[in-house]
Amino acid sequence: MTSIKDLSSILKSVQKPGRYIGGEMHSIVKDKENISLRFALCFPDVYEIGMSNLGSRLLYHTLNQDPAIWCERVYAPAEDMKAQMEKHGIPLTAIESGEDVKAFDILGFSLHYELCYTTVLSMLKLAGIPLLSKDRKEDEPIILGGGPCAYNSEPMADFFDLMNIGEGEELLSDICHLYMQMKADGTYSRSAFLRRAAAEIEGVYVPSLYDVTYNEDGTIAAYTPKFPDVPKKVKKRIVKDLDKAPYPDKLVMPYIETVHDRITLEIYRGCIRGCRFCQAGMIYRPIREKSPQTLCKAAKCLFENTGYDEISLISLSTSDYSRLRELTDLLLEWTDDAHVSLSLPSLRLDSFSEELMQKISSVRTGGLTFAPEAGTQRLRDVINKNVTEEDLLRSVRIAFRGGKSSVKLYFMNGLPTETYEDIEGIAKTAKRVIDTYYELPREERPSGLGVTVSVACFVPKPFTAFQWEKQDSFESLIKKQSYLRGCITDRRIKYNYHEAKVSFIEAVLTRGDRRLAPAIAAAVEAGAYLDAWEEGFSFDRWMRAFASAGVDPAYYTTRGFGLDEVLPWDVIDCGITKQFLKREREKAYKGETTPACSEHCSGCGASALGGKTRWCK
pLDDT (tens digit per residue) in 35-47: 999 999 999 999 9
Q: Provide CB contacts within 8 A for 520, sequence distance 6+.
A: 117, 118, 121, 155, 156, 159, 509, 545
Please give the pLDDT value at position 296. Answer: 97
Q: What is the pLDDT, as a whole number, of residue 617? A: 59
pLDDT at 175 over 90: yes
- Structural domain ending residue among the three candidates 192, 217, 242: 217
Binning pLDDT at 50, 70 and 90, where does residue 347 land? confident
| Predicted pLDDT at 614 | 67
The pLDDT, as a whole number, for residue 204 is 98
> pLDDT value at position 193?
98
Distance CA 66, CA 52 (A): 23
pLDDT tier for residue 388 given thresholds of 50, 70 and 90 = very high
pLDDT at 70: 98
Shared-domain flag, residues 269 and 211: no
Residue 4: pLDDT above 60?
no
**Quick check: is 505 in a domain?**
no
On whether the CB atoms of residues 546 and 552 are closer than 8 A, the answer is yes
Residues facing residue 100 across a β-bridge: 93
Task: Give the residue-averaged pLDDT of 112-135.
Answer: 98
Half-sphere exposure of 466 (CA within 13 A, CB side): 26
**Last residue within a domain, chosen from 181, 197, 217:** 217
- Domain that residue 360 falls in: 262-498+575-607
What percent of the chain shows pLDDT beyond 90? 87
Highest mean pLDDT among 52-61, 309-318, 439-448 belongs to 52-61
State the total domains in the chain. Answer: 2
Q: How far is it, in rounded angstroms, from Cα 114 to Cα 505?
A: 9
188 shares a domain with 292:
no
pLDDT of residue 612: 62
Share of the chain above pLDDT 70, in %: 96
> pLDDT for 108-123, tens place per residue?
999 999 999 999 999 9
Residue 604 banded pLDDT, cuts 50, 70, 90: very high
- Write out pLDDT tens, residues 484-521: 999 999 999 999 999 999 999 999 999 999 999 999 99
Average pLDDT over residues 430-450: 93
Are residues 211 and 98 part of one domain? yes
Residue 71 and residue 175: Cα distance in Å, rounded?
14
Give me the pLDDT at residue 356, please. 72
- Rounded mean pLDDT, 532-557: 97
pLDDT averaged over the chain? 94
Domain-located, residue 141: yes
**pTM score:** 0.95
Q: Looking at residues 240-267, what average pLDDT do you find?
A: 94
In a domain, residue 182? The reply is: yes
Give the model's pLDDT for residue 282: 97
543 in a domain, yes or no? no
CATH number, domain containing residue 40: 3.40.50
- CA 113 to mean position of chain CA atoms: 6
Query: Would you say residue 222 lies in a domain?
Result: no
pLDDT category, 350, cuts 50, 70, 90?
Answer: confident
Q: What angle do helix axes 79-88 and 4-13 make, rounded to 10 degrees? A: 150
Tens of pLDDT along 455-492? 999 999 999 999 999 999 989 999 999 999 999 999 99
Same domain, 166 and 90: yes
Q: Do 172 and 291 sit in the same domain of this protein?
A: no
* CATH code for position 293: 3.80.30.20
Query: Measured in whole angstroms, how far is the alpha carbon of residue 189 from the centre of its chain?
Result: 32
312 and 433 in a common domain: yes
For residues 373 and 413, what is the distance between their CA atoms, to the nearest angstrom?
9
Residue range 603-607: mean pLDDT, rounded? 93
